[in-house]
Amino acid sequence: MFNGRSYPAVTDVIVDADACPVKEEVAEIAANFNIPVVYVASYNHFSINRSGNWVYVDTMKEAADMKIVNLAKRTTLVITQDIGLASLLLAKAALVINQYGVIYDENTIDGSLERRYLAAKQRRQGVHSKGPKAFTFENRLDFKKRFVSYLETME
């Protein structure tokens, strides 16, 4: 149980892979739990040297998001940085987390969507922020701990 909500056991993981900084960590940890992982990315990010199950989609704006929504089911854990995609998945996926291992849920998604909207509004008005901080080694460790914790709890 996380954030007061119980989740079914995870049977698979889907990664919104275009900009995900923890793909290798996901592969390693999911393999330890014998949970299959599907990485969804646009053809712009194609590489022959990738291991794992990769699904490539067109480069259209929401193609990867729609593929992930179509693949996800109640027992899927989805990893994405996309707050809009997370909001679509909440009613469908078992658990939606970001690259820091933070859970998106019904209690937090509205605030996240509002912050995204306000930031976009400011950008349209010419106000620009620094952007996100660099993803650190500590962020990687935190993600790994949280991801393992979720999978252990949801077995």
Q: Where are the extended beta strands (E) located within 3-126?
A: 12-16, 37-42, 53-57, 76-79, 95-97, 103-104
At 21-56, the pLDDT tens digits run 999 999 999 999 999 999 999 988 777 767 789 999
Domain count, the chain: 1
Residue 35 domain boundaries = 12-153
Task: Report residue 126: phi and psi, to 5°.
Answer: 90, 5
Burial, 72: exposed, middle or buried (Cβ in 10 Å; 0-12, 13-18, 19+)?
buried
pTM of the model: 0.85
Tell me whether residue 6 is in a domain: no
CATH assignment of the domain containing 46: 3.40.50
The CA distance from 74 to 92, in Å, is 5
What is the average pLDDT across 113-123?
68
Tell me whether residue 7 is in a domain: no
